[in-house]
Amino acid sequence: MGPSLILLPFFSVIILNLPLRNLMKRLAFWLCLALLSAQIYWAFFPQAVLWGRYFAVFQEVLRFDLISDSLTRLMLLSIGIVSLVALFMGRRMIENQEQRFNFINLLFIILAGMNGIVMVRDIFSLYVFLEIASIASFIMIASSKHAHALEGVFKYIVMSMVATVLMLSAIALFLVVSGDTSFSAINAAVRGTPSGSMLTFAIGIFSCGLFIKSGLMPFHGWLPDTYSWAPAPVSVLLAGIVTKTVGVYALIRLVVSVFGLHASFQQVLMFVGIISIVIGAIAALGQNDFRRMLAYSSISQVGYIVLGLGSGTALGLSGAVFHLFNHSIFKSLLFVNAAAVETQTGRRDMNTMSGLSKRMPLTGITSCLGSLSCAGIPPLAGFWSKLIIIIALWVSGHYLYAFIAVAASVVTLAYFLSMQRRVFFGKLAEDLVQIKETGFYLGFCAILLALITVGAGIFFPFMLNTFILPVGNILGG
């Protein structure tokens, strides 16, 4: 099934743009829904006979060499869920049929790019798929033609150009040293000359490129504007999974499978992670714009993932990957709710709202669940992933980092409680008494994501044994 997860989205774009365009516009949503549902199913049941029987031809004919381990499965699950939510949001919020059709085409391209990123075993192929997902994201952001969105995408493009130069330069150096761009060849070169200056430089600049793509401090300048002003379905897609895949996942995969984690690199990761956690949380605390606050919160939460990775332990890797999954869910949920509030009230400034839970109870309840999970309150999923990361830091002797991570969670709780108070609690504003709860599509997305973040917390032992511990074993082995 693995190769088909890359090829079928590309084939779908070709099929949708053949003649009979009016028919294809009506079929686009259902085709995308079917493909995303199949991907989610495959993430849970990778050995299903159905896939082996009907899709093994891709493996035999094209000879793809792809990764299919527990980390890949968890990422494909996250990609499938968040892309499904973005699809439903696009159906609800993009009224023009032509624009909605274009959105689905771009979603297929991004899906192929992200699936390729999580499955390839070659650093140049990783870069190619990374750029496929990034370029489609640029077009999606700019599709609103809003001045702020265009400003945000311009910053994103400029920073991505810098990242591209860094990564291509690093790939050239890897090729010179190892004679190949496969993960195994580069890893062998790193193991053979662990202190080689050229390899160290190549690892450093490639990692900087991924820091830019991840929106980590101090490379975050593009992220708040992009998340804040992109069309709502695109914000969910970007904040929920695209940035995590093109930046954070790629960093995790390369550290685990290619670069290794030497002491100096470990300290760089932990420093970048803790700076992102602290500054992102403080910046979020001072925001009045709903979506901009969530954008800075994303920077902070990604810092936890990098901090767990930097701990250098199998437990830390497990916590980092679990938090990546949790963040994709609860941050998508919060962006869905921000879109619902903005759609129903026409407002983004949290100081101009109050008491919305009286008129939008579903949005208020699910927003509270997402906020508490992000802050690490038990028994929600975010609590467990943060707990694993903090335990990993403590047992590996990084006591100060563990203490700061706990303190930053208190700040996270503070700004989310402030958001809940200003938006959903208190007396309903007089000019908002006529608003109603959001419709089916946004409501379905909110319920689905809320159930996942609650379920992943309550059924944490299942998640631990099925997805999380096997990921840690990759590093442990």
Query: 219 versus 45: which is more confidently predicted?
Result: 219
Q: At what angle do helices 381-395 and 399-423 cross, to 10 degrees?
A: 160
Adjacent-strand bridge partners of 267: none
- Grouping H, G, I as helix, E, B as strand and the rest as coil, residue 66 is strand
Res. 76: pLDDT tops 80: yes
Is residue 315 included in any domain, yes or no? yes
Per-residue pLDDT at 403: 92
Residue 56's pLDDT band (boundaries 50, 70, 90)?
low
Residue with tokens 């999970």: 373
Q: How confident is the model at residue 429 (pLDDT cuts 50, 70, 90)?
A: confident
Residue 221 DSSP label: T
Which of 330-334, 418-422, 448-452 bottoms out in mean pLDDT, i.e. has the lowest?
418-422
> pLDDT tens-digit profile of 190-225?
877 765 678 888 888 998 999 998 888 888 878 888
Q: What is the pLDDT of residue 473?
A: 64
Contact (CB, 8 A) for 228 and 335: no
Structure confidence by residue, pLDDT tens digits, 283-300: 988 888 888 999 999 999
Residue 443 falls within a domain, yes or no? yes
- Written as six digits, the tokens of 369 are 């669940």
- Greatest Cα pair distance, the chain, in angstroms, is 70
Query: What's the number of domains the chain is made of?
Result: 1
Mean of pLDDT values over 442-471? 84
Nearest to 241 by CA among 449, 380, 425: 449
Most confident of 214-228, 328-342, 427-441: 328-342
Residue 287 forms part of a structural domain: yes
Confidence (pLDDT) at 129: 92
Residue identified by tokens 């980590």 is 216
pLDDT for 311 beyond 90: no
Give the three-class secondary structure for 120: strand
* 176 band by pLDDT with thresholds 50, 70 and 90: confident
Instruction: Confirm if 118 and 246 have CB atoms less than 8 A apart.
Output: no
- Structure confidence at residue 51 (pLDDT): 47
Mean pLDDT of the chain: 84
The answer to the question of residue 314 being in a domain is yes
Q: What are φ and ψ of residue 429, in 5° steps? A: -60, 140
Which of residues 67 and 377 earns the better pLDDT score? Answer: 377
CA–CA separation, 361 vs 311, rounded Å?
41
Residue 390 within any structural domain of the chain = yes
Q: Is residue 127 one of the residues assigned to a domain?
A: no
- What is the pLDDT, as a whole number, of residue 470? 76
pLDDT the model gives residue 61 = 46
Domain range enclosing 468: 262-477
Indicate the pTM of the whole model: 0.89
Residue range 233-279, pLDDT digits in tens = 888 998 888 888 888 899 998 888 888 777 788 888 999 999 999 99
Nearest-angstrom CA–CA distance, 467 and 74 = 7
Has residue 305 been placed in a domain?
yes
Residue 142, in any domain of the structure = no
